[in-house]
Structure 1
């Protein structure tokens, strides 16, 4: 009797565990969107700061060349710069980090408020913030006092 109950228990447990395995289930399709924020770190407020978001898509394969050791198989990508450019995009004006008095903390707070508004709007549209990447180019190694701070927000959502 105990062996039968053990066998039935193992059989039911095995069937339940296999019900969670579905090799035929398609993976969820997602799309990604990148919003780039470029903030000027040029002294005296001479730089430009913007939040950029493309409204059109491009296929990277149209502008990609595959290289190999066999030079005879290499093909030159003949795409033109104007084919790569995106002309349909949103450009949101932001304030520069610096003004004549130095770092302007009020400008940083204003930029944070505008960027937060964009993030909240995208989340309301069904996007999920997936990644944030940052980088800085300060003085370009030339001591010229010019530079930018870039933040890329990568969003994703299910199709």
Structure 2
């Protein structure tokens, strides 16, 4: 109830996927243990805070409308900068039942610019 941490997150750092990719030739031997997860983390990114959908009394429609305005503003800004929205992808990790109490919903907007 009101404890979500909704954000627009945009990396300002870059990584090379080649540095984190290994190849298997027989399906069993892997060199992934030579790849450090900590090296895959970016240090530079922008965060835009969004509002929680829920409050103590239920769904907060003002917050939903405010988030829609914030996301529309971000998309319109990117379009003005020459980016084209190509794909919208969603993912969910839902509450696993008794004792879990957590879940996440994520929406990814994929933009393209020549």
Number of residue pairs the alignment of both structures matches:
113
Say whether the 8 Å CA contact 1:129–1:156 is kept in structure 2.
yes
| Counterpart for residue 42 of structure 2 | 86
Structure 1 residue 87, shift from structure 2 partner: 0.8
Aligned pair partner of 1:136 in 92, 96, 108: 92
C-alpha change, 1:75 and 1:146, in structure 2 (3 Å) is: closer
- Unaligned stretches of 5+ in structure 2? none
Considering only CA atoms, is the larger Rg found in Structure 1 or Structure 2? 1
Q: Which structure 1 residue ranges, 4+ long, deviate > 4 Å from structure 2?
A: none
- Unaligned stretches of 5+ in structure 1? 1-43
2: distance between equivalents of 1:123 and 1:108? 22
Aligned pair partner of 2:65 in 109, 115, 122: 109
| Counterpart for residue 104 of structure 2 | 148
The higher-RCO structure (CA 8 Å, 6+ apart) is 1
Query: What is the CA RMSD across the aligned residues, in angstroms?
Result: 1.9
Task: Give TM-score scaled by structure 2 length.
Answer: 0.87
Say whether the 8 Å CA contact 1:53–1:90 is kept in structure 2.
yes
Task: Give TM-score scaled by structure 1 length.
Answer: 0.64
Structure 1 residue 82, shift from structure 2 partner: 2.5
